[in-house]
Structure 1
Amino acid sequence: MTMSLFSQFESPTLFYIPLFALAIGLPWMLFPTPGPRWVNNPTLAFQGWFIKHFTLQMLLPLNTPGHKWALLFASLILFLLSINVLGLLPYTFTPTTQLSFSLGLAVPLWLATVIYGMRNQPTHALGHLLPEGTPTALIPVLIIIETISLFIRPLALGVRLTANLTAGHLLIQLISTATFVLLPLMPSVAAFTAVLMLFLILLEIAVAMIQAYVFVLLLSLYLQENV
């Protein structure tokens, strides 16, 4: 039973060929491309409106040097939103349920913010390791604690994304399995679990969107400390 539950998180293969790259690249093909027309269709208009307002919200607390990351943030939120939501469809695969993939996104992006801060303003970046007004006796302890906290950030960033999506997928599969088992035995209870699963799917769609937003938001907060 445990293997059947977690088999949905295995990387898909076709004729022993891994399809992980296809699962990552396919969502990009679903985004419409702007044409030469003056008036866009509703899908393009909504896409442009979303990117504009999201970018403005992300860059509002950042200083001017941090605005160079606007294209990265917009691309990242679209990428995470698409693979998280599309992964809820039947016979699909969610790459962000793989911890290696989430950490592969979190570690380089977090490291880029740290290197950016150390390169442009090293004094300000190192100043976060020691809060102002710290007693002299506590300076070594606080520096160690803040350093550990700094290196835990990418781990927490990747694990948060993977854990929330994995828990939701497992819960949906558990309830759907219970619905099919209870259908011939207790139809009324099966109907109740089916309605419960419907609400859970709606909740999981919201979680998929929120986790993509939280990932980019935390990354912008890390960048804010280094610009």
Structure 2
Amino acid sequence: MDQNLFASFNVPMMLGIPLVMLIILFPTMLISSPNKLINNRLSSLQQWLIQLTLKQMMTTHSTKGRTWSLMLMALITFIALNNLLGMTPYAFTPTTQLSMNLAMAIPLWAATVLTGLRFKTKAALAHFLPQGTPMPLIPMLVIIETISLFIQPIALAVRLTANITAGHLLMHLLGGTTLTLLSSYISSSMITIVIIILLIMLELGVALIQAYVFTLLVSLYLHDNS
């Protein structure tokens, strides 16, 4: 039975009920809780990674911006675990859904913009019209800056969706090619198997990097407005 190339990105259903919420919450079970477990290598590694990432993101922030630390760390952990969930066999990757990524990007972007308008009103409005702009260019420049501002959450969501989807599609295509070659050209299939293994290692890195990039851009938007 032929299957659509994008069928693996369809939301799983059971009795007509979408299971996406259960799938999204599943990776949180992988996080060890220090209240329930004795300090071990896993929890120590998690704490070290959290401290390292937090230090990288919060270095340039003011005291007011650092109040977002908990939210940013929860965000990067959530995205990274959902990206890694899609690397397991027969799994569904929630972050391949543009609607979900927009649901994360738009509220976070709106919160940073509203923070800037509340605490740094003059500086936030000054971005729409740089100093020294010639009078004839003022209307066009204001329109361009406004469009670029509203494109920011769309760019956040599309970047995450495109990078995760592209890697999964490539693995799907190479996997189908390998199964076809195994029945006729075993030596050639060995080459594609090696390529798939290298691609999986690359996708593991991409899953973590894209979570970091998404959160870092939100952090930069916050830095510009706090």
Separation (CA, whole Å) in 2 of partners of 1:196 and 1:131:
49
Aligned partner letter, 1:5: L
Corresponding residue for residue 168 of structure 2: 169
**Offset, 1:2:** 8.5
Q: Which moved more, 1:136-145 or 1:80-89?
A: 136-145
Corresponding residue for residue 30 of structure 2: 30
- With structure 1 as the length reference, what TM-score do the two structures score? 0.95
Identity of aligned residues (%): 50
> Are residues 1:51 and 2:50 paired?
yes
Q: Deviations over 1:150-187 (max 9, x none)?
A: 00000000000001100100000000000000111111
Q: Deviations over 1:162-220 (max 9, x none)?
A: 01100100000000000000111111111111111111111111111111000001101
Alignment of 1:37-116 (within 5 A): 40-116=39-115
* Compared CA separation, residues 221 and 30, structure 1 to 2 (3 A): same
**Offset, 1:120:** 1.3
Separation (CA, whole Å) in 2 of partners of 1:145 and 1:98:
28
Corresponding residue for residue 12 of structure 2: 12
Separation (CA, whole Å) in 2 of partners of 1:208 and 1:146:
31
Separation (CA, whole Å) in 2 of partners of 1:70 and 1:124:
23
Root-mean-square deviation (CA, aligned residues, Å) is: 1.6
Number of aligned residues:
226
Separation (CA, whole Å) in 2 of partners of 1:132 and 1:167:
41
Separation (CA, whole Å) in 2 of partners of 1:149 and 1:52:
33
Separation (CA, whole Å) in 2 of partners of 1:22 and 1:215:
23
* Compared CA separation, residues 194 and 142, structure 1 to 2 (3 A): same
**SS at 1:5 equivalent:** coil
Aligned partner letter, 1:147: T
Runs of 4+ in structure 1 off by over 6 angstroms are: none
- With structure 2 as the length reference, what TM-score do the two structures score? 0.96
Structure 2 unaligned residues grouped into runs of 5+: none
Q: Deviations over 1:121-145 (max 9, x none)?
A: 2111111111222222222111111
Aligned partner letter, 2:40: N
**Offset, 1:12:** 0.9
**SS at 1:4 equivalent:** coil
Q: Deviations over 1:64-94 (max 9, x none)?
A: 2111100000101111111101211002111
* Compared CA separation, residues 143 and 82, structure 1 to 2 (3 A): same
Separation (CA, whole Å) in 1 of partners of 2:25 and 2:56:
27
